[in-house]
Structure formats: structure tokens, C-alpha cells
Amino acid sequence: MEFRFFIGTKAIFGRGCLAENAGELKSFGDKAFIVTGKTSGKKSGALDEVIGVLKALNISYCVYDGIENNPSLENVSDAGEKAFQFGADFVIGIGGGSPLDAAKAVAVLAVNPIPPVDLFKNTFEKKPLPIAAIPTTAGTGSEITPYSVLTRKDLGTKMSFGNANTFPKLALLDPRYTESLPYNVTVDTAVDALSHAVEGYLNRRSTPVTDVLALEAISIFGDCLSDLLGKNLTLKLRDKLLYMAMVAGMVISHTGTTVVHSMGYSLTYYKGLPHGRANGLLMAEYLKFNLAGAGDRVKKVYERLKISDADEFKGIIDRLMGTRVELTEEELNSFASQAAKQKNASYCLWNVTEEDVVKLYKSSLME
Ligand code: NAP
Ligand code: ZN
């Protein structure tokens, strides 16, 4: 047995955790650059609370609230330039995966005058600024992963970078900040977290430790399912979903994702599907795909979700997420060719060919 386990983030979880641990921010310096989305910082209440804490600590700050969903290189480059001009000591990311991923790019670009495309080289002369991550969705786990997923308009897809230095130094997880999430975003992001756990479990880089974490996250999703289906979105449920997303984030920090995520990127880029929804529509067929070679593992996933097979899973996803998306034959072939080349496709339990990907898209979306 051989494995490594490393999470470079101090995570503090609980309602009111920011105010109770405000002093943690002071250790990062006197100038904070806040990176958030157009509405998420304000709607969640997190931005006001952060500003209140910074004022009390005498930390000066600058707010950049222009992060797009699925942020592009151009978008993070603009924010990085502003952080450089401000002379930030550290970065605070507030929002869903989009602003948190953007915060990682900003932390690099604020101290490294490189063309933004060089982010993907993954080696930087100067260490990125410290990042404090405050999630307002319960899904990506970005607060505890080193990854930053960015949209490449030049290539027509999404691509990620990240190394041991891009883990947020601090994650403050307060489930109250997810209470303002609409139902559809709650579901999409929860399904994204489930997808991280399932893909991390059916993954050639899984370890005994990530397996324990993945099964824990899958079980929690199973426990939350009836409330999600019944739209019973209590704060107690929000606690569980945020915890599940964090645990699943710890899984993919080690395993990465799989072909489900690489296939999902085109559904987001070309068809406008939210990230979690894209993965959700593909996950049932990924489970079936693994049945032949990893049947025991797939059955364990069903057990933890308290379901009997992939068809039942598909039915649940349909109830949670509604209608499917249609692809033309041309889209199908070009998406498959892109997805098969992505790095995360190579983390599946065995080699996945372009033909396999075509079949997975077809059975997921067109049958
Ligand atoms: P998101 O794009 O960050 O946010 C989705 C929507 O929810 C946005 O409209 C956002 O508003 C809104 N929102 C967020 N928090 C809210 C709140 N508390 N109340 C009301 N509205 C709120 O979605 P996400 O699914 O969390 O992140 C997706 C991104 O993360 C993708 O780019 C994906 O590729 C990436 N990702 C990263 C990792 C990783 O390990 N780093 C893993 C998986 C996925 P605003 O527009 O105002 O922000
Ligand atoms: Zn994801």
C-alpha cells in the first residue's frame, strides 16, 4: 500500500465561523483583495460580514465583484491586474466555484507578471499570495482544492491549473452563506459534489484515504436526497451539503475528476449548462460504464445512495434536474474528440477511447 495525502488548507466549519476566527485573516497582512461574483457576495451576506471584520481589524481592502460564471482567462487577468495595482498582501475569495477559482488565478497574477495563458504552466517564480476562501455554494469544494478551472475562449473549452501553493491557506465554511441559493443552484452544486465523490471513487488515482472520504460524501448525499427531492431546504440540510462538498473536494484534490467532468466542459461551454448539471446528466452512464470492470465499487455507490441501479439513479437525476439537452451528430463528434483529450479523462479506471466517449454522450443524452 502506497499513497500520499496532503491538504494545504486550514478549514474552519460552522455557523458564524468568520466572526469567531477573524484573527486568522490578520496573519495574512494589511491589504486584502476581495474577489467575488456579481451578486453572490452580497446575496449570501458574506461580503458585508467580511468587510465588517476587515474594518475591525484595520485591514484595508479592495472589492472586485466582476467575476463571471465559469471565469475566462481574460476575466481573471483583469482582476489580477487590479490586485497588482492595489498591492494586495492576500486574496479573499467569496462565492461559488467561479469566484473561488478566480481567486487562485488572481493570487498568482498579483505577484507574477506573466501572460495569463502561462498559468497553465503551473510553475511560478513567486509564490502566490495567501488565499482565504469563503464558499457560498455547496458543490465544487474549491475552498479545499488547489484547482482553478478557467474558460479558454481561444480553445473553446475549460482547463485547470493548480499546484501545492494554490490551495487556499484558509477556508471558512459557514452554511448560512448558502441559504440564499435558489433551488436549482442548490441541486446543481450538490450533484457536482456527488460527482466529485463518485468520480474520485471510480478513479485510477484513488487511495484508501480518498475511498473513505468519497464513500462518506456519497452517503451524505444519499441522506439528503429526500429533502432535496422534496425541496425541504433547511439550514440543517445546508450544513450537511456544505460538509459533503468539502469532503468530496478533499477527494478530488488527490484523485482529480474523470471523463464525466471532461465531457461536461463542452456541455457548459457550448450548450450553457451549469457545471453541476452537466456532470449530473452524465453520471448514471459513467456508473454503468464501470460496472463490468469495477462492479463491487459501483454497487457500493448504489448502496450508499440507497438505490438499486443506474436506471433508478437516472430517474432521480431527472426529477432533480428536469429535461435533458439535445446534441447534433456534429456536436457529438466534436465534443467527444475534445473530451477524450482532456487530462482528467485519463484518470478513469481504464483507458477511455473517443468511441467510448461518443457512446457515453449518446446513452446519457440521446437515448
Ligand atoms: P458558480 O458559477 O460559482 O455560481 C453559480 C451561480 O450561483 C452564480 O449565478 C452565482 O452568482 C450564484 N450564487 C453563488 N452563491 C450564491 C448564494 N449564496 N446566493 C445566491 N446566488 C449565489 O457555481 P459553482 O457551481 O459553485 O462553480 C462552478 C465553477 O467551479 C465552474 O467554473 C467549475 O468548472 C468550477 N469547479 C471548480 C472545482 C475546483 O476544484 N476548483 C471543482 C469543480 C468545479 P454570481 O454570478 O454573482 O457569482
Ligand atoms: Zn465539478
* β strands within the chain, DSSP E: 10-13, 31-37, 60-67, 90-95, 131-135, 148-152, 157-161, 170-173
Nearest bound ligand to CA 143?
Answer: 1
Does the pLDDT value for residue 1 go beyond 90?
no
Nearest CA to ligand 1 atom 41: 142
Query: How far away, in angstroms, is 293 Cα from ligand 2 center?
Result: 24
Whether 40 is in the pocket of ligand 1, judged by its Cβ within 6 Å, is yes
What pLDDT is stored for residue 199 in this prediction?
Answer: 98
Q: Maximum distance among all alpha carbons in the chain?
A: 59
Question: Considering only CA atoms, which of 57, 77, 62, 64 is closest in space to residue 32?
Answer: 62
Q: Alpha-carbon distance 291 to 310, whole Å? A: 10
Phi, psi (rounded to 5 degrees) for 131: -120, 135
Condensed to tens digits (0 to 9), the pLDDT of residues 137-182 reads: 999 999 999 999 999 999 989 999 999 999 999 999 999 999 999 9
**Mean pLDDT, residues 1-5:** 92
Q: What is the pLDDT of residue 324?
A: 79
Grid coordinates given for 287: 456508473
What is the rounded CA–CA span in Å between residue 35 and residue 80? 10
Give the distance (Å) from ligand 1 centre to CA of residue 163: 21
Nearest CA to ligand 1 atom 23: 96
CA distance 151 to 275: 12
* C-alpha–C-alpha distance, residues 354 and 367, integer Å: 19
**pLDDT value, residue 314:** 95
pTM of the entire predicted model: 0.97
Residue 323 has pLDDT above 80, yes or no: no
Residue with cell 440507497: 306
The model's confidence at residue 322, banded by pLDDT at 50, 70 and 90, is confident
DSSP-derived secondary structure letter, 133 = E
The three state secondary structure string of 304-367 is HHCCCCHHHHHHHHHHHHCCCCCCCHHHHHHHHHHHHHCHHHHHCCCCCCHHHHHHHHHHHHHC
* C-beta neighbour count of 208 within 10 angstroms: 9
Residue range 58-79: mean pLDDT, rounded: 98
From the CA of 221, how far away is ligand 2's center (Å)? 15
The answer, yes or no, to whether any atom of ligand 1 lies below 6 A from the CB of 96, is yes
Q: In this prediction, what percent of the chain has a pLDDT beyond 70?
A: 100
- Report the residue among 7, 40, 104, 134 best suited for mutation to probe ligand 1: largest number of ligand atoms under 8 A from its CB: 40
Q: Is the CB of 70 under 6 A from ligand 1?
A: yes
pLDDT of residue 367: 79
CA distance 88 to 246: 27
Cβ atoms of 146 and 119 within 8 Å: the answer is: no
Ligand nearest to the CA of 65: 1
Amino acid at 81: E
